[in-house]
Structure 1
Amino acid sequence: MTGRTPSGRTALSTRAILLRSMVVVVATAIAVLAIAGWRWWDTVHRQDLAAGALDAATTLTVQLLSTDAAGSEADLTADRTLVTGDLAARFDDVVAPLGGREPGFTTRAQVVRSAVVSAAAEGAVVLLYVDQVSTSDVAPPRRTAHQVVVTLAAAEDGRWLVSGLEPA
């Protein structure tokens, strides 16, 4: 017996072809699973980034736009640690007037709607709809609604900082 099959191939070459085919199928399956796994991880990671950015933008904006008449200077000092970049340089001209920060003047901001425009590890842009109620010792309460585009930058310690706060 010579070990040839009816087609004329040897049994060894048939096994070799079968083994190579199985290796190709397994390698292809591993590649497909790796790509699918990476895409799943990337999607989850982007969703986590967007959720974190949305939460940070909401919290930071409420803090920046809410003031208490009793603690105005303390509020400003705390608020300065929440901003970075160009906004930090323009803080007293841009953010301080938004909160009033006058004796007897209190503001409370509340985010009523929000959406992430873009989010990445280094920064994010979020659109917020903010209701702000201002009260004063000398005037009746006043309610205003704002659309605010909040630009966030990732700090070295992992926190989000506000680098832009502009009306939409």
Structure 2
Amino acid sequence: MASKSSSHPALSAADGFANGSTDTLLLIGRVLLGWLFVAAGWGKIMNMAGFAGYLTSLGAPAPGLLSNIVPFIEFGMGVCLILGLATRYAAIVVFLFCLIATALAHRYWEYPAAQQAAQYTNFLKGIAFMGASLIVLVTGAGKFSVDAALAKK
């Protein structure tokens, strides 16, 4: 990535830190984002029947099939992000996954008033994860990644 500098002198310290630590910060960001998907996927893998019931309660199509596929996709996306493996493809899958999950599971306006605030927060988290995935798509994995190691060969 090209160095970026702020036009405001007060921000020059932040610019210097970000420009000098880009690959380390990309690694940390990928690990944090990936960890979320590994943990969520693993939770579903450990309770596939419960996840199938949840999908059924949402009116999802083919909940039995989805409950056997989605957890492994979610887990795999997280692993790819953490390792920096096929990172840009993983970012696209994360974006689509979050778009579908947010639209299906976090329609806060359909929940009773007592649950709307929590569902609205989950809706916003889904949007934030979509934004994070777009940033990963644009930046790529960085130097500390399997992608970078493979590119050297």
TM-score (norm 2): 0.33
Higher relative strand content: 1
Higher relative helix content: 2
Higher-Rg structure is 1
TM-score (norm 1): 0.31
